[in-house]
Amino acid sequence: MNCKDIEQDILDFIDGELATDKADKIKKHIGTCANCKAFYDETVALFGAFNKEEQQVPSESLREGFYKLLEEEKQLLNPKVVQFNKQEKAFPWKRAFQVAASIIFLFMGYFLGSHKTGKDANKQIIALQKETNELKEGMVLAMIENQSVSKRIQAVNYTEGFEKPDVKILEALIERMQYDGNMNVRLAAAEALSEFPESIMVKDAFIEALTTQKSPSLQIAIIQFLVKIQEKRAIAPMKQLLEHSDTPDFVKEQVNDGILQII
């Protein structure tokens, strides 16, 4: 056992925590080595001094002083704390709810109102449309026998917007197509009538017109309409047209073309 080992184990030796054989060896060494004896004595003396020293306890006055100081500091900080509270209050939930509610009410009112007026307006528009249609029908009937050709054409053109024209209107148009003195009116009427291909009256009128009308332009317009609606009954009068010597060649061409398309 050398002096270095002694140095390491000396604290455990003093506390008596070493195994007995190791403690005997250290005791023996200390008895022989003056250096180690001196180190041992010093260490024992140091620890003895530590144990002897009384624990320092802070005085009561210090504690009081500290709390006093704390209170003072708190007092000093207090107004600031109040200010913080105020800032937190700056978000006024109640008022926000009020504003939000009023905005919602406003919008609800607006939508409700607009919905209602929209409905009313729709009704009014429908009524107005009906009225204008009636007015237009009246105008058509009043103008369709006007002396002026241009006015008669205008009357015929008025029928363009009609979805389901009155029988009276159709009759007036058919009369124009068949018997109007002016070619252009007859043609305009034929065109106006071709907007109503569902009407049986119109179909019959076109088939009849095919045999009676002599003007090539009108014949072409009639053929085109009958081909468009695939009217099978038109084939016989169309073939008749082909046999007529006074039918112009370009009309015959249209007839041939048309017959092919119908079949």
Partner 1 sequence: MKRTGIIINLMAFLSFVFSYAQEDYTKNLNGISKVYIETGTKVKITAGSSNVLKFNNIGHNKTNNERAEGLKAVYSGGADNTGFGFSMSQEGSVLRVKDLKSWMQRKDLQIELPKTIDIHIDCGNLGSVTFEGFSSEIEVNSTVGNITFNDVTGPITAHSETGTINVDFVNVNQSSPITVHSSTGSVDVSLPSNTKADLELRSTMGTVYTDFELKTDAPDGMKVVGANRKIESKLNGGGVNIVLRSSTGNVYLRKK
Give residues in contact with partner 1 (CB under 8 A): 147-151, 153-154, 157, 182-185, 187-188, 215-217, 220, 223-224, 227-228, 248, 250, 253-254, 257-258, 261
Give min distance, CB of 113 to partner 1, in A: 35
Give min distance, CB of 258 to partner 1, in A: 7
Which runs of E-coded beta strand occur in 22-127? none
3-state secondary structure at position 214: coil
Give min distance, CB of 98 to partner 1, in A: 52
Helix axes 183-193, 216-228, angle to 10 degrees: 0
Q: What angle (nearest 5°) sits at the alpha carbon of residue 159, between those of residues 157 and 161?
A: 105
CB closer to partner 1, 25 vs 216: 216
Give min distance, CB of 142 to partner 1, in A: 14
CB closer to partner 1, 36 vs 155: 155
CB closer to partner 1, 98 vs 150: 150
CB closer to partner 1, 153 vs 174: 153
- Name 192's Cβ contacts closer than 8 Å, sequence gap at least 6: 156, 157, 159, 160, 173
Spatial separation of the C-alpha atoms in residues 20 and 18, rounded to whole Å: 6
CB closer to partner 1, 36 vs 220: 220
- Name 213's Cβ contacts closer than 8 Å, sequence gap at least 6: 178, 186, 219, 222
Give min distance, CB of 256 to partner 1, in A: 11
